[in-house]
Each structure stands twice: as structure tokens, then as C-alpha cells.
Amino acid sequence: MLNVLSGQLGDRFLAPVGTHCILELYDCPAAQLNDADLIKHSLREAAKKANATLLNEVMHQFEPQGITALALLSESHISIHTWPENGYAAVDVFTCGQHTDPEMACLYLVRAMQAGTYAVRKLPRQSETPLTSSFTIAAHALEASSPSPREMVASGIE
């Protein structure tokens, strides 16, 4: 599906490239949010639930508490940042491709982190292509096959 965006930069096609889910996890047990092994395992499982391909992982555990972890996917990424002292985690799940389901990854992480409540926002990610590019190509093709104004006058075409 192509959407059209009109605005300051002119008319553009919006071609879908992926889905970005922003997940807020509240009222999570502090132990869940500060368990490095659990976080690592949960990101791996979330990638599987999203039907995504895990390429690499990186994690940092803060002192005295908190973790930032990233699962690098062939289709983009899943990241989590935890604040055990607040029972809160911020999660991004961004996937590209029709075969992925980032919402399934989010639901898995809600359960894995034992969130009491959560909020998720789903954003379509779209690339912009100027509308004029396709019309410019068509205009050049038309010019190449059309007679010049001089040829039009000579042949009686007006």
C-alpha cells in the first residue's frame, strides 16, 4: 500500500518498509529487570516470536542496577533498557519485511518481564520517494517520442 504525503518537501510516495513497536513495561519485578541471563534469553526468544533472524547481541549491566541490551536482527533490532528500581523497562522492536511480527515479540516480553501493566505503540516505518521522479521519467520518454514544435508546424499539427 502506498500513501501520499504532501507538505513542505512536496508530494511524496510513502512506501512501507517496516513496523516499529515502542513498548513500555510497568510494575515489573526488580529481579526480572536486573537478571542479565534472563534478559539475554528473552531477547533471543522475542526475535524467534517475531520470526526474525538474530545476527548479534550486546549487553551492558550497570552498577548498582539496570541493563541495556540489544539484539541485532537481519530485519532491524530489539532493544531493552531497564530501571529495576522503578519496575520499568523501555523496549523497541523494529522489524522490516512482511514475514516478521514485532507485536508477537512485544507480547512475549510483557510476559517474560512479568509486567503488571504495559503500553505499546505501533508505528509504520515508511520511505519517501518524490512523486516528481516518476513523472519526470514519463515526461522524458514522451519528449523522445514526440515530434518537435518545428516538426508539428511543418506537418500541420498544432
Rounded distance between C-alpha atoms, residue 89 and residue 84, angstroms: 8
Strands (E), 11-116: 12-26, 54-61, 67-73, 76-83, 88-96
- Reply yes or no on whether 106 is catalytic: no
- Residue of 21, 28, 96, 106 marked catalytic: 96
Catalytic residue among 76, 77, 99, 148: 76
Indicate the length of the chain as a whole number.
Answer: 158
DSSP output for 55-67: EEEEEEE-SSS-E
| Greatest distance between any 2 Cα atoms in the chain | 87
Q: Which three cell numbers stand for residue 71?
A: 539484539
Q: In whole angstroms, what is the distance from residue 40 CA to residue 44 CA?
A: 6
**DSSP element (H, E) containing 128:** strand 117-130
Catalytic annotation on 96?
Answer: yes
* 79 assigned to active site: no
- Confirm if 11 and 5 have CB atoms less than 8 A apart: yes
Q: Which residues are catalytic, by number?
A: 76, 81, 96
